[in-house]
A and B are shown apart, each in its own frame.
Chain A
Amino acid sequence: MLRISQTLVDGMVAHARADHPDEACGVIAGPEGSDTPVRLIPMINADRSPTFFRFDPSEQLAVAKQMWDDDEEIVVVYHSHTATEAYPSRTDVSYAAEPQAHYVLVSTAESGREPGPVSVRSYRIVDGTVTEEEIELVADVADVLDPE
């Protein structure tokens, strides 16, 4: 199960809409071993394509170094499908290399850049096997850590 705040889900959806009809991609970092997504990091789709995405290797290095320094890891890897359902493609599965991560797919196929229905689904992808999991919306981590 993926436990995540509405704010982070909204952030992924907003990024997916903004980049539509190209695929959007990014990660959500969290403290190592916590399985808690905290910090949304929208990334550049180096392919700028409606059917493919690829992290830019130099941006990915910068993000990885920041996470290393902060004892964070990738909790969520997300990307959008802009014409198909929010289900991992064969390409997605072949590249999936973060066994600890939740793979979130956002489909903007129905509404594109406009407000309207979007589909957000989460998966585990380990050794080529895709397992869908529930998404449970929880209170903002910022509120939990720093209640005001």
Chain B
Amino acid sequence: MAVEVRIPTILRTYTGGEKAVSGQGATLAELIDDVEGRHPGLKARIVDATPSATNLRRFVNVYVNDEDVRFSGGLSSPVSDGDVVVVLPAVAGGSR
């Protein structure tokens, strides 16, 4: 068992075109590090790492089992075998 991570079209260049990849970890941060090991470059498109903090990028929404992690612990959200993580680009814009 593992955690399924669904990859949006724009990031499939990092997964060889795969729509979903699997990974392991106890938290979302560990899962992303695990996936990064096989698909280098992916992590930088999902998280924003500065010397003082690591956060989800502003333009990305991440859901663990349908829960938007912005409201449930962010990168420290727990994950476990059989969970489904969905990554979606935020869709927004405006006339200004």
Interface, chain A (partner B; CB < 8 A): 23, 25, 27, 47, 49-55, 57-58, 60-61, 64-65, 68, 73-74, 77, 79, 81-84, 88-89, 91-92, 95-100
Contact = CB atoms under 8 A, between A and B. Distances in A.
Interface of B: 6, 8-10, 19, 59, 61, 63, 66, 68, 70, 86, 88-96
Given A52-B92, A64-B86, A91-B93, 17 more contacts: A27-B91, A49-B94, A50-B95, A52-B95, A53-B93, A57-B61, A57-B70, A61-B68, A68-B19, A74-B9, A89-B95, A91-B94, A96-B93, A98-B10, A99-B9, A99-B10, A100-B9
A53 B93 CA distance: 5
A100 to B, nearest CB: 5
Contacts of A98: 9-10, 89, 91
Contacts of A91: 92-96
B92 A54 contact: yes
- Tell me if A's interface is mostly helix, strand, loop or mixed: mixed
B61 to A, nearest CB: 5
Contact of B95 (A83, A95, A97, A99): A83
Tell which of A23, A25, A81, A97 has the most Cβ of chain B within 10 Å: A97
B91 A52 contact: no
